[in-house]
Amino acid sequence: MATATSSSVDDGSPPPESGYPGGGFAVSTDNSSRRKLYSRLFYLLCVLISGLSVVVLGVLLVSIGWQGHSRLTWDLLQNSHSELNPDSAGMWPSIVGSIFICGICAASALPLGIGTAIFLEEFKPNSKPLRMLHSFIQLNISNLAGVPSIVYGLLGLSLFVFMFNVFGRIQVNESSGTELFGVNHYYQVLSLAGGGHTVLIPQEEEAEKTIKIDAPTQAVDRDGQKFELAIWDPASGEPKPSDPKVRERTVRKGQGGGSYSETKWYYLRLPFGKSFLAAGLTLSLVILPIVIIASQEALRGVAPSLREASFGLGSTKWQTVRHVSLPAAMPGIMTGAILAMGRAIGEAAPILVVLGAAVAKNSGPQNLMDNVVTMPVLIFNWAGRQQAAYQELAAAAIIVLLAVLLLMNSAAIYLRQKMRVG
C-alpha cells in the first residue's frame, strides 16, 4: 500500500516560521556580510597589534645586541664590578647572588604555594561559614597577584629585614638582634711575629669592643686550637723571643685588640637584616600568589572522572590527591612555578628596597646573613651611568639576563612535555 510522504526542499527561501516575509532574507544577507567584514577588520587589527609588538621587541633586541655584543666575553661572566677599570668589569658576583636568592625564593614559595593550592582546590569546606572564609581567601589571593612588587619590597623590609624591631634595631658595624648560631666572637690581637699575624681571644662581653692584654690568657689560633698566650714586657729587660713559633703565640704587654667575628655559612640571626635570606623571602612573597593561582588552574584541569574512579576504588581524599590529582596536574604546576621563578630573577624593585643599590662586592654570599648583588640591580646601576663603557656593559648584562630567562622558559616547556608523555 502506497504511503503519502511529505518532504521539504531547500529552495533558498527563508522558512515560513522564520519571520522574514518577502525581502526579509535579503536583510539577513546584509547582516552576515557586515559581520564578516567586522570579523576581517578585527583579524587585521589583531595581526597589526601583534606585528607591532614583534617589531618593537625585535628593534629592542637588535639595539641591545648591537650595543652590547662587544662586551659578551668571558671577562663579563668571570670578573666583578670595577669602579676604576670598567673595561674589565664583570657580573659574576651578581650571577651567583641571583642564583642564591632564587634558590631561597623557590625553597620557600613553591612548597607553600602548591600546598595552599591543594588545600583550596581539593579540600573545599562544606559548612557555610567555612565556605565564606574560603571565598574570602581566594579573593585576596587573586587580588594579591596584581599588587606592585615595590609594595612587597616594603613589606619584606618591615617583616624580614627589621622584623618590626622586635629583636632590636639594626645598627651599622654592630652585631644587632639575637644571634642564634653559626658565629664566634673574638678579640683580634697582633702578635710579636709581625707581618699582620694575629691571635684570637674569645670575647666574653659583646658590649666590650676592645681589649688590652696585660697578663697571659687563653687564646685560639685560626684552626680553633686553644693555647696559652704569652706576654713579653719590654720594660722587664728580657730579650724579645727569637723563635718564630714562640713569637706567633706572644704579644707585647699592653697590646690592644678589637672585636672580630668569625661566621659559618649557616650563621643566622634575628632580624635577618639586609641579607640575601631576607631578599629571597621577599621575592617569595612576590611570586606566591602566582604559584597558587597557576597550581589551582592545573588542579582544575584534572578530569573529575579520575577523582571519581579513585574514590570508587575506596581511596581516601589524601590518597586521591597524592596519587591521582597531583601527578596529573604536575606539568601545569611545574610550568607555572618556573615561569614565576623567571619573574623573580628579573625583579629589581623589591631587591633595591631590601638590599639597597650597592654593587661593590667581589664574591657570592659567605653566610645566610651576607649581602649580595643581583643581575637586575647591577644592570640598574650600570644603565644609570654616563660612561659609554658602562652603557655597553648594561646592554651585555641584559643579554645575559635574557639568556637565563630563555633557559628557564625552555626548561619549563621541556618538563611540561616530558611529564605529559610520562
Residue range 71-75: average pLDDT? 88
pLDDT above 80 (res 291): yes
pLDDT above 90 (res 107): yes
Give the model's pLDDT for residue 3. Answer: 42
Give the model's pLDDT for residue 181. Answer: 85
Other beta carbons within 10 angstroms of residue 261's beta carbon come to: 14
Residue range 261-273: average pLDDT? 87
Residue range 95-108: average pLDDT? 92
pLDDT above 60 (res 278): yes
Give the model's pLDDT for residue 6. Answer: 44
How far apart CA 40 and CA 55 sit, in angstroms, is 22
For residues 51 and 166, the model is more confident at 51
Give the model's pLDDT for residue 170. Answer: 65
How far apart CA 201 and CA 401 sit, in angstroms, is 46
For residues 281 and 215, the model is more confident at 281
Quickly tell me which residue has 599588587 as its cell. 147
User: Which pLDDT band holds residue 359 (cuts at 50, 70, 90)?
Assistant: confident
pLDDT above 70 (res 18): no
pLDDT above 60 (res 265): yes
* Residues whose CB is less than 8 angstroms from the CB of residue 135 and which lie 6 or more positions away in sequence, other chains included: none
Percentage of residues of the chain with pLDDT beyond 90: 32
Give the model's pLDDT for residue 298. Answer: 93
Residue range 39-62: average pLDDT? 93
pLDDT above 70 (res 21): no
How far apart CA 146 and CA 144 sit, in angstroms, is 5
Answer whether 186's CB lies under 8 Å from 259's CB. yes
Answer whether 299's CB lies under 8 Å from 121's CB. yes
- Radius of gyration for the chain, computed over Cα atoms and rounded to the nearest angstrom: 34
User: Which pLDDT band holds residue 2 (cuts at 50, 70, 90)?
Assistant: very low
Q: In the chain, what are the domain boundaries? A: 74-166+272-421, 183-263
**May I ask the CATH class of domain 74-166+272-421?**
mainly alpha
* Residues whose CB is less than 8 angstroms from the CB of residue 267 and which lie 6 or more positions away in sequence, other chains included: 179, 181, 182, 183, 367, 368, 369
Percentage of residues of the chain with pLDDT beyond 70: 90
pLDDT above 50 (res 5): no
Give the model's pLDDT for residue 180. Answer: 85
Q: What one-character DSSP code corresponds to residue 4?
A: -
Answer whether 360's CB lies under 8 Å from 83's CB. yes
Start-end of H helices in 240-320: 244-248, 276-300, 304-312, 317-320
Mean pLDDT rounded to a whole number for the chain = 85
* Global pTM value: 0.80
Query: pLDDT tens-digit profile of 364-377?
Result: 888 888 889 999 99
pLDDT above 50 (res 389): yes
Query: pLDDT tens-digit profile of 127-138?
Result: 888 889 988 998
Give the model's pLDDT for residue 156. Answer: 92
Residue range 195-203: average pLDDT? 85
Give the model's pLDDT for residue 213. Answer: 87
Coil vs helix vs strand at 228: strand
Return the closest-CA partner of residue 397 out of 35, 17, 89, 31: 89
pLDDT above 90 (res 339): no
How far apart CA 185 and CA 365 sit, in angstroms, is 20
Residue range 248-276: average pLDDT? 88
pLDDT above 90 (res 172): no
| Main-chain phi, psi angles of 188, to 5 degrees | -105, 115
Give the model's pLDDT for residue 300. Answer: 92
pLDDT above 70 (res 324): yes
| Main-chain phi, psi angles of 34, to 5 degrees | -65, -40
